Amino acid sequence: MKDEIEGLPESDRFAEAPHPRETTGFFGHAEAERELLDAFRRGRLAQAVLIGGPEGIGKATLAWRFARFLVAHPDPTSPPAQTAASLELPPDSPVTRRIRALALPDVTLLRRSWNEKSKKHYTEIRIEDVRKLIHLFQQSSGAGGWRIAIVDSVDDLNRSSANALLKLIEEPPERSLFLLIAHRPGRVLPTIRSRCRKLTLAPLAENEIVAAVRALGAPWSERSEAELAAAAARAEGSVREALRLLDGDGVAFDSALRGMFARLPQVDWLAVHALADRLTGRDNESAYETFMTAVFRFLDRAVREKAGQGAGAASLVPYARAFERIDEAARDTEVYNFDKRGLILSIFADLEEAARAR
C-alpha cells in the first residue's frame, strides 16, 4: 500500500472516485455476500477466494467489505458474526476508519506499483511485489486475528509473479485469506484457480448502477436523472464504465464507437485515422480506455450473440483469434510504450477480418 502512503496515484483507483476500501455502500451481489458470510460462520471458508466478473461491477468493493468484517469479527462463533444480516460495518467504526487510512498491517493490498522512473504504473504486478507480500505474511499477525491479502487484480500478474503467489496460497500461514479479484477468471493460471473457491459476480442492473453512482457523492450525484440513466443503459452492468461515460462527451463517444463496430466488416478508414488522432493525443487516457473497453465488449457480445443463435464453434473462432491478437498487442503497446496509433489501426484490421470470416 506504499503508493497511497506516499501520496502517489493508485493503480486500482478510477480517476477521482472513492477507492473501494473507502466505499461502504454496496449494491447488488446479495447472494455472493451471503455465501461468504455463511462459509465463514460454518468454518468452511477457503484460504483463497477468486472473485470474478466484468470490470467495475463491485468485486473489489465486496473484497474490502469482507476484509473489514473479518477484522471486526474474527471469531465465527461470536454473537456479532452469528447474527449479522450482512457484511456491513458502520462507516465510522474503528475498523472502517483504519482500513480507509491503510492503518491495518494485517490487511495487505497487492496491485501494480508506481514506477518512479517512468512516472507511470508498471504494466504488471511484478515478482518483487509478491515477495514483499510473502515477507509480510511471514510475520505474526498484529492483532492475533486474520491476515488478509487483496489482489487487485490477478489479471495483472505475470507468470513469475503468479507462480510466486501460488506457492504462498498453497502453504498459507494459519488464519490467512487471499481475496483474488479477476476481470477474466478463465485466463487466471489454472493452478491458482484450482486452489480457490470461485465466486462469480454478475453485471449490475441499471437501477443499481444509478444508485451506486449517486452514493459516490459529488460531482457524480449532481448529474441529472436523464444523464445517469443514459450512462447506466450503456454501461453493461459496470459502475466504472458508467463513470467513464459521464465524463465529458462519454455517451456521444460511446455511440460513435458502437456505430463503427455495427458497420463491420465495412471500415471507414478516414474515421479510424481520425479516431487514432484523438486517442493518441495528450491527456486522452480516459478516452483510450473507453475505446479498449468497447472493443473487448464488442467481441464478447458478438460471440455471445452468435452462440445464442446456435452458431457452431468454427464461426466463433475468428472472434476468439481477434480477441487474443488485440489483447496481446495492447499489452505489448503498454509494456514497450509503442505508438498507440499503430495499435488502433491494427485493431480495426483484426475486427474487419473477424467480421468478414463469419
Q: What is the pLDDT of residues 277-306, one digit of tens each?
A: 999 876 678 789 889 989 998 998 898 888
More confident: 344 or 14: 344
Specify the pLDDT at position 250: 86
- Segment among 51-60, 173-182, 304-313 with least mean pLDDT: 304-313
Averaged confidence pLDDT in the chain: 91
Radius of gyration (Cα) for the chain, nearest Å? Answer: 21
More confident: 286 or 210: 210
Specify the pLDDT at position 311: 79
List strand residue ranges (DSSP E) for 291-330, in order.
none
Whether the pLDDT of residue 4 is over 60: the answer is: no
Q: Do β-strands 114-115 and 120-121 pair in parallel, antiparallel, or remain unpaired? A: antiparallel
- Give the strands of the sheet with 176-182, arranged side by side: 107-110, 147-152, 176-182, 48-52, 197-200
Whether the pLDDT of residue 2 is over 60: the answer is: no
Q: What are the two backbone dihedrals, phi and then psi, of residue 273, each rounded to the nearest 5 degrees?
A: -65, -40
pLDDT digits (tens, 9 = 90+) for 240-257: 999 989 988 888 999 999
List strand residue ranges (DSSP E) for 251-312, in order.
none
Specify the pLDDT at position 145: 83
Whether the pLDDT of residue 215 is over 90: the answer is: yes
Specify the pLDDT at position 144: 62
Q: HSE of 287 in the Cβ direction (CA atoms, 13 Å)?
A: 20
27 and 175 Cβ atoms separated by less than 8 Å: no
Specify the pLDDT at position 141: 64
Specify the pLDDT at position 306: 84
C-alpha cell of residue 277? 488522432
pLDDT digits (tens, 9 = 90+) for 113-124: 999 988 889 989
